[in-house]
Structure 1
Amino acid sequence: MTLPNFLIVGAAKAGTTALYRYLQQHPQIYMTPTKETNFFAFEGEVINFAGVGDEALREFSITDFKTYQAQFQGVTEEKAIGEACPSYLYYPQAAAKIKQYTPDARLIVILRNPITRAYANFLHTVRDDREYHHDFALALQDEATRIADNWEWFWHYIQVGFYGRQLQHYYEYFPRDRIKIYLYEDLKTDAIALLQDIFRWLEVDASFVPDMALHPNKSGMPKNKLLHRILTKPNPVKTLLKPLFPAKLRQKIQHQNLNTPQLSPEVKQQLLDLYRADILKCQDLIQRDLQPWLGESAV
């Protein structure tokens, strides 16, 4: 029975999609064809979230073991077998489930300043035409109500950022030498060094360099909504033009059409006040200096 021997467990909007794409290219690494199976978060559950666009989560999530196991049918001679699913860091039951099914798994975590992470999360839902508030402060005000009304976890802009609380579950189930922690800043500053460190840790060829020209999953508010829909939604124009524009060019145009408005000082301070204690807890847990997350320059 083939199951993963490593997992990228989060955090959301911190580079997990990029890591999935880069690791997927390595000849000695197998990644599940479905990114974000959500199996260890929702095993045995009926997924029925009520938020805008939440039906998509039900469509791609896997909740039964037989279907999850089928994700690994393509494994041949790869040494490292993995999946990437940022919901695993957020859902407390995931750590116990992973320990149950794959007790010796290695876990990769990449963390981003929780303030900028929450804002990127918000911009992601705006980009995808799910978020009807285009004011981040208003969306934050609605978060508790949305959670109470059973909107899926990706709407939990604030709650997803309490990494100290979330990581504690993993340290309770896995020894420290099975958990590898990176920061989003590591990925942005020197992605090659970060990947080579992962390759060494997974005991695969560390000299391999993936194609990193594509930068998946960028968030932002579309400047031109019509152009954004043509580039990202199924439509006859996109189908017609797709053969004429390589993926890299299409992505470049899409990214240039995305704007990131400045985050207001009031919202920054509100979130910093909420996160301060957890950031300090996280700092102690992962033994990395997170003081920049507490300063003005980080946000």
Structure 2
Amino acid sequence: MSPETEISGPAARMPDFLILGAARAGTTALYSHLRQNPSIFMPSAKEPNFFAFEGEALNFSGPGADYVNNSVTGIADYHALFSDAPAGAVCGEASPLYLYAPKAPERIHQRIPRVRMVVILRNPIDQALSHYLYAVKQRIEPLEDFSAALDAEDERLAAGWQPLFGYSRFPLYAQQLSRYFKLFDRNQFLIRTYEEFQDDPKDVIDSITTFIGADTSFQPDLSSRVNAGGVPRSRLFQDFLMKPNPITGMIARVMSQELRWKIRDRLSQFNLKREVELPDRARAILRERLLPEIEDLEYLLDRDLSSWRA
């Protein structure tokens, strides 16, 4: 059965657009803002990761492995994510692993070759630090020294730890986008930066809404700050929020996952220190690994990214 045949019919909706990433570049906030628009349908479960792992038996190890191991890998389950979409709605989903995963571009091209794709890129060095701080906030990063975590990347990934722990590998944007550009027309991509999103979120949301063909007259509430990172002031309190325990288990029986996570993240915000300096050694490691990528990305996109190299 061809991909086109598989996705035909009202019970087999597929996305009209994908938010490919990058990770820690505002994709959770973007997802939250776009879902407010009545003309846009996005599944309540963010990051199904289908095209990253389609058909695979997942068995990642290490801290937080369940996040990846619980990804949607079957086409029927993926179709089901969009089964409640109203007629005429623009359907989409957000999985930042799509930019990172080597097999994702080919799988997307096979299933939905005319899909529109949104990419938000962040200064790679800032992104790597933010990814580390996110893992610290989630209490899945056991190392308190970012430099040590960078040194441990190869060993961890070789041991089957989930991709998140390749902190300096996630922001290899030039390599990642090149895989997509070999298969898709450039006009299928809208590429903005995290800095643009921070400076003028309305402009970025408006440009995306126009790009995906949704209702541009609707203006979402942009006041909430979603999924922010930081270092916990109290590790004990953060462990209580992020790790399974009898109290959170009881709450899970009576409250939806989406609402639980919203409350958890709100409480977590009060326990986080926002301003975190990048250690000198970690900065040196990241500059050595990532500066060539920034230069390659400037050439690939024909865009001045000199501020990222500063």
Matched-pair contact (CA < 8 Å) for 1:196–1:207: no
Secondary structure of the residue aligned to 2:170 is helix
What is the CA distance between 1:248 and its match in structure 2? 8.2
1:294 paired with 2:306, answer: no
TM-score by length of 1: 0.90
Matched-pair contact (CA < 8 Å) for 1:214–1:251: no
Q: CA RMSD in A?
A: 2.2
Change (3 A) 1:58 1:180: same
Matched-pair contact (CA < 8 Å) for 1:29–1:78: no
Pairs aligned (count): 291
Matched-pair contact (CA < 8 Å) for 2:150–2:282: no
Q: Which residue of 2 aligns with 1:160?
A: 170
Secondary structure of the residue aligned to 1:164 is helix
Matched-pair contact (CA < 8 Å) for 1:3–1:69: yes
Out of 49, 68, 80, the position equivalent to 1:57 is: 68
Q: Which residue of 1 aligns with 2:272?
A: 258
**2:224 partner letter:** L
Alpha-carbon separation, structure 1, partners of 2:266 and 2:138: 17
Out of 155, 164, 173, the position equivalent to 1:145 is: 155
**1:283 partner letter:** E
**1:267 partner letter:** A
Greater CA drift, 218-227 or 192-201: 218-227
Matched-pair contact (CA < 8 Å) for 2:147–2:281: no
1:94 paired with 2:108, answer: no
| Runs of 4 or more consecutive aligned structure 1 residues displaced over 6 Å after TM superposition | 236-240, 246-250
What is the CA distance between 1:90 and its match in structure 2? 0.5
Alpha-carbon separation, structure 2, partners of 1:250 and 1:143: 29
Alpha-carbon separation, structure 2, partners of 1:63 and 1:119: 29
Q: Which residue of 1 aligns with 2:286?
A: 271
Per-residue CA distance 1:239-276 (angstroms, 9 max, x = gap)? 78x99xx9988755522321243112332122112111
Unmatched segments (≥5 aa) in structure 2: 1-7
Matched-pair contact (CA < 8 Å) for 1:28–1:77: no
Out of 107, 120, 124, the position equivalent to 2:130 is: 120
Alpha-carbon separation, structure 1, partners of 2:240 and 2:141: 19
Alpha-carbon separation, structure 1, partners of 2:217 and 2:238: 37
Unmatched segments (≥5 aa) in structure 1: none
Per-residue CA distance 1:38-61 (angstroms, 9 max, x = gap)? 1101111110011112023212x1
Out of 219, 232, 235, the position equivalent to 2:229 is: 219
Q: Which residue of 1 aligns with 2:57?
A: 46
TM-score by length of 2: 0.87
1:34 paired with 2:49, answer: no
Matched-pair contact (CA < 8 Å) for 2:17–2:118: yes
Secondary structure of the residue aligned to 1:165 is helix
1:5 paired with 2:43, answer: no
Change (3 A) 1:205 1:273: same
